[in-house]
């Protein structure tokens, strides 16, 4: 279709992602920029055990009412525009 633009934008990160070891308390990590320093607009989250996740600007703590991600479900893609931290519990 001429003039059609997909609403999905791909971003080449070209850097190592982050892993968060979760427990009964919230843990967080910085969302990495790509190798050119461009801030991520979307992140994909995969889990090996059920986790509640939150993306924010600055330090934060995830709580049990945040987005639930379950293992084996293919993960989730979150719009993180303006956010620089991902937290999980």
Q: State whether the Cα torsion 40-42-48-52 is positive or negative.
A: positive
Number of domains in the chain: 1
Entry pTM: 0.78
Q: Residue 44 sits in which domain range?
A: 1-89
Where are the extended beta strands (E) located within 1-89? 27-30, 42-45, 51-56, 67-69, 76-79, 85-88
Average pLDDT, the chain: 85
Residues 59 and 41: their CA atoms lie apart, in Å, by 18
25-58: pLDDT as tens digits: 999 999 988 777 888 888 889 999 999 999 999 9
Contact 41, 63 (CB under 8 A): no
As a whole number of angstroms, the distance between CA 1 and CA 56 comes to: 37
């Amino acid at each position: 279709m001429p003039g059609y633009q997909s609403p999905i934008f791909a971003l080449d990160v070209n850097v190592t992602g982050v892993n968060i070891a979760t427990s009964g308390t919230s843990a967080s990590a910085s969302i990495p920029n790509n190798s050119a320093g461009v801030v991520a607009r979307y992140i994909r989250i995969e889990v090996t055990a059920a986790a509640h996740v939150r993306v924010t600007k600055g330090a934060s703590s995830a709580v049990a009412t945040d987005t639930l991600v379950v293992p084996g479900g293919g993960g989730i893609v979150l719009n993180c525009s303006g956010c620089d931290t991902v937290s999980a519990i």
